[in-house]
Amino acid sequence: MPHKGLKIAKSMKLFSDALEVMPGGASSNARLWQTAQFCPIYTPCTIFAKRAYGANIWDVDGNKYIDYRLGFGPIILGHSYPAVSEALHREERKGTVYALDNELELKVSERIIDMVPSAEMVRFSVTGTEATMHAIRLARAYTGKDVILKFEGHFHGDHDYLLYSTSPPYTTRKRPYAQSAGIPKAIDRLVKVETFNNFDAIEKTVKENHRRLAAIILEPIMGNAAGIMPKPGYLKFLKELCDDYDVLLIFDEVKTGFRVARGGAQELFGVRPNISTIGKAMSNGYPISAIVGEEDIMQHFGPGPHKVTHGGTYASNPVSLTAADATLNILKNREVYGRLYRYGEKLMKGISAILEEQDVQAVVQGHPTMFQYVPTDRKEIHNYRELGNSAGMELYAKIQYWLLTKGVMLDEDSQECWYTCLAHSSRNDLKPTLDAFRFAVERAKNSKFKATRFKLPQNTA
């Protein structure tokens, strides 16, 4: 049964109703919290949100939280940021979908080209999944080769070509591991999987497969694996390797773009990929993404059988473009990132100090705008396998629950990052967060919870 420390009756009722009309009770598997095996709380049950503003989110049971999930990263300024909301509400009165070009496409494209080092041309889409799908199609068309190499623990959307080895069992051998039913087995031969941050392994694989290898795609910072950072020089090494063997380098910056720096991770690390995908923080929460890259590559998009097909009814809709324009207008100011970094650095430092104070061995890793703590006896974590062999999921699950009871929300998935936004402030949010974290660690260490499972109707399978 749910723990008495957190009110969730309305969420549970709505979840029960949702099970009757939606498979699993949600429209995204990631919203189904499932840590009941570690901690007897309300899971598996998605929390039903009621509203969000600034750095806070409220649920239907009246619980208020300082939000560090921020929609899995899109909220870079704060929920319902006035300058963004007001601009798009003015625009939506003019129209929502035209099936024609509009001047905003040019304006936002020019902003992106000015801010993102690799962006010489831009094509808009709606979701990160669409962006990466079209990016690899573009890479294949440009190179005339079919195989794509990705890394374990890197997530690039839900399409068949890249939904491999995003979270494979830690005991499996290194191979393309399909993460969903329904992916044709024939696609296995079009995907290569390597270990992130291993210089020798990637060089060997590229040397052996470069004649078939169209591109390497990666998250420059592992936003879906606890914020693992690239080793010094690793991204530069990948770019040089790709250049030497006529392979394209694709940065999936759907999470890191405009979040970790004005020009994304490619600016932060000083490495310019051939193609990039961006989204999420670009519009502070409105649905938009983009494929950007070098002009000679991007020119392969176009109509006709010898060009790359790309389209979408909602691509470059004026409402999302307005949100992007307003957001990027704020993010073009580098002082904004100074504020973001300072808050995140204080938070990371405070969390690390509390874990040390409470005698919990852990690594706090990532970037000040997207990071995670990992209970482990390792000094550093460099790849997915090391993460899996280190993570103390039971302790993390208990800490996450006790944080909820104190009004601090992070994701139940220990591999999802904490995200910060401009609305988080040292005055209002830092001390309450760290006080809650200290309380949560203390309670989690002394908790007598035993593993349980909340029974749900059969159709949740």
pTM: 0.93
Confidence of residue 300 (pLDDT cuts 50, 70, 90): very high
Residue 146 has pLDDT above 70, yes or no: yes
Query: For 82-331, CATH number?
Result: 3.40.640.10
pLDDT at 458: 41
What b/e string do you get for 335-373 counting C-beta neighbours within 10 Å, with b at 16 or more? eebeebbebbebbbebbeebbeeeebebbbbbbbbbbbb
Per DSSP, the three-state class of 256 is coil
* pLDDT at residue 452 in the model: 38
pLDDT at residue 174, rounded to an integer? 82
What pLDDT score was predicted for residue 37?
45
Q: What stretches of 165-212 adopt beta strand conformation (E)? A: 191-194
Sheet with 362-367, side-by-side order of all strands:
362-367, 370-375, 418-419
Q: What are phi and psi of 394, to 5 degrees?
A: -65, -45
- Per-residue tokens: 390: 């280190």
Give the per-residue pLDDT at 30: 78
Average pLDDT, the chain: 91
Rounded (5°) CA angle 308-310-312: 170
Per-residue pLDDT averaged across 69-88, rounded?
96
- pLDDT band at residue 131 using 50, 70 and 90 as cut-offs: very high
Q: Where are the domains of the chain?
A: 82-331
pLDDT for 112 beyond 50: yes
Q: Quick one: pLDDT band at residue 461, thresholds 50, 70, 90?
A: very low
Integer Cα distance of 196 and 336 in angstroms: 31
Between the two ends of the chain, the Cα-to-Cα distance in Å is: 20
Mean pLDDT of 10-34: 83
Give the residue, 42 or 147, on which the prediction is more confident: 147
**pLDDT at position 172 over 90:** no
pLDDT tens sequence across 259-288: 999 999 999 999 999 999 999 999 999 999
Which strand (E) or helix (H) includes residue 216? Answer: strand 213-218
Q: What is the pLDDT of residue 95?
A: 92
Q: Identify the residue with better confidence: 6 or 361.
A: 361
What pLDDT, on the 0 to 100 scale, is given for residue 35?
53
Does residue 455 have a pLDDT over 80?
Answer: no
